[in-house]
Amino acid sequence: MKNLPKLFRQGDVLIERVECIPNNAVAVQSDNERIVLAHGEATGHAHTLSQKGAKLKQVPGETATYLEIAEALAEVHHQEHATVSLQRGQWRVTRQREYGPEAIRNVAD
Amino acid sequence: MTDLDRYIAACDYPGVLAPQDVDRHLADYLKALGIKRQIVRLGPDWAVTGSLRRTIEEILTDVVRRNPAARAARAARAARAARAARAARAARAARAGALRRFASWCVQYSGWWWNWEMSWLAATFLGAKQLNKENVAAWAKPLFEAFISGCWILYWTDDTLYWAAKPTVHKETNGRLHNEGYAAIESDVENIYFFHGVAVPAFVVVKPEWITVKHIEDEQNAEVRRVMIERYGQDHYLLDSKAEKVHEDDFGTLYRKEIPNDEPLVMVKVVNSTPEPDGQFKDYFIRVPPTIKRAHEALAWTFDKKESEYAPDVQT
């Protein structure tokens, strides 16, 4: 496992391998067959992966989300970025943020 | 429906507008006060005429008398106008425009800030009822009914009680006044423009392409300047105002622009890892806290990481 990539960036989303997902994380329900990691604000574009063999979880009150991948490989797609392949295991997903004098907000591409 | 329920419903502007009912209730109000006035609505086509004009001219004269700088400015303007006889007509038109702006300020803002705003006045009736103050209710009840019928602001002159209808109000979900394309307060007297709760000149909202670097740098109010920079485009402002290039590395370029009486604008320019359909790689800017000194540190911050923790194996 040592030399496998651990930190991926796809546009405004950072995906990093973690040892484990916090115990208090709860599964996030998806409406259809896709898991959406992040929606674009204006474009309708999104970072998505198939629900087959993947679970999205979130710790209440935290902005980062977690992915549990049971398949050997799971592909994260986006309309404007090349596909990223995640190996089996646990991952944390962080949205990119930008600073503002009044509030820090998420970037959305 | 209780009077309190009616009051709460009437606070959702603009709501109902029944001008004849407003006139009738205001007539009852004047009668209760024992005062004689005409009742005139300042509608969408209002003009600075009659006793309104007299009152506004008096206020203007008083302002000039109390403020020697304004007097000097007016004298200088008058001298210029005398020299340029051909411009006299234009000057008269400009003065009429200025008078109307000043009049709308007197009516709307004095109404607003100095308690002739009806949501404030009308509430007196609820208190009078609760405390059984019949002498207060006698004048407060007709005011309350005028508010329910759509009256927003009163303005008194020596022979007339003017009134204006409630405005249409645009807010964002957190309650701040905001409208991206037009006035946030659409009033018959004067439209007022707000951007995320900050009152700004109309062009900042309606014609952001008119904003220049000089406009931004001449603006004294930090909040208005922030809105202007946002409307101009933070990244364009950074480049057009000749911001300092602070640091450059493999992750991007860090720019910093000092802004008087406000925190500096610090942004990192990064190049998209995926090419556009035409094969070009697009630059984009992300604002970071002003304490950041290096491009790598800036990009790491955008993902809540320290500089030492941020080195993606794959970027797309």
Give B87-119 pLDDT, tens digit per residue. Answer: 555 556 666 778 888 888 888 876 655 568 899
pLDDT over 90 (residue B77): no
Say if B263 is an interface residue toward chain A (CB within 8 Å): yes
**Token digits of residue A49:** 């992966």
Q: Does the beta-carbon distance from B274 to A83 stay under 8 Å?
A: no
Residue B301 binned pLDDT confidence (cut-offs 50, 70, 90): very high
CA B116-B120-B125 angle, to 5 degrees, is 110
Chain B closest CA to A86's CA: distance in Å? 11
What pLDDT, on a 0 to 100 scale, did the predictor assign at position B83?
A: 55
What pLDDT, on a 0 to 100 scale, did the predictor assign at position A61?
A: 83
CA B211-B196-A39 angle, to 5 degrees, is 100
Q: What residue of A is the nearest CA neighbor of B284?
A: A109
The sign one gets for the Cα dihedral B62, B66, B70, B74 is: positive
Q: Choose between A54 and B153: higher pLDDT.
A: B153
Whether B284 and B237 have beta carbons less than 8 Å apart is answered as: no
Whether B112 and B154 have beta carbons less than 8 Å apart is answered as: no
Whether B310 and A9 have beta carbons less than 8 Å apart is answered as: no
**Token digits of residue B218:** 């001449």
pLDDT over 90 (residue B234): no
Q: Which residues are paired to B165 by β-bridges?
A: B151
Residues of A in contact with B315 (CB under 8 A): 8-10
Residue B76 binned pLDDT confidence (cut-offs 50, 70, 90): low
Chain B closest CA to A31's CA: distance in Å? 26
Chain A closest CA to B27's CA: distance in Å? 48
Backbone angles phi, psi at B205, to 5 degrees: -85, -50
pLDDT over 60 (residue A1): no
Mean pLDDT of the residues in chain B: 87
Prediction pTM value? 0.68
Residue B134 binned pLDDT confidence (cut-offs 50, 70, 90): very high
Q: Across chain A, which distance is largest between two alpha carbons, in Å?
A: 43
pLDDT over 90 (residue A71): no
pLDDT over 80 (residue A42): no
What pLDDT, on a 0 to 100 scale, did the predictor assign at position B73?
A: 62
Pairing state between β B160-165 and B38-41: parallel
**Residue the block writes with tokens 């190996």:** A87
pLDDT over 80 (residue B296): yes
pLDDT digits (tens, 9 = 90+) for B271-289: 777 776 677 777 788 889 9
What pLDDT, on a 0 to 100 scale, did the predictor assign at position B222?
A: 76
Backbone angles phi, psi at B88, to 5 degrees: -60, -40
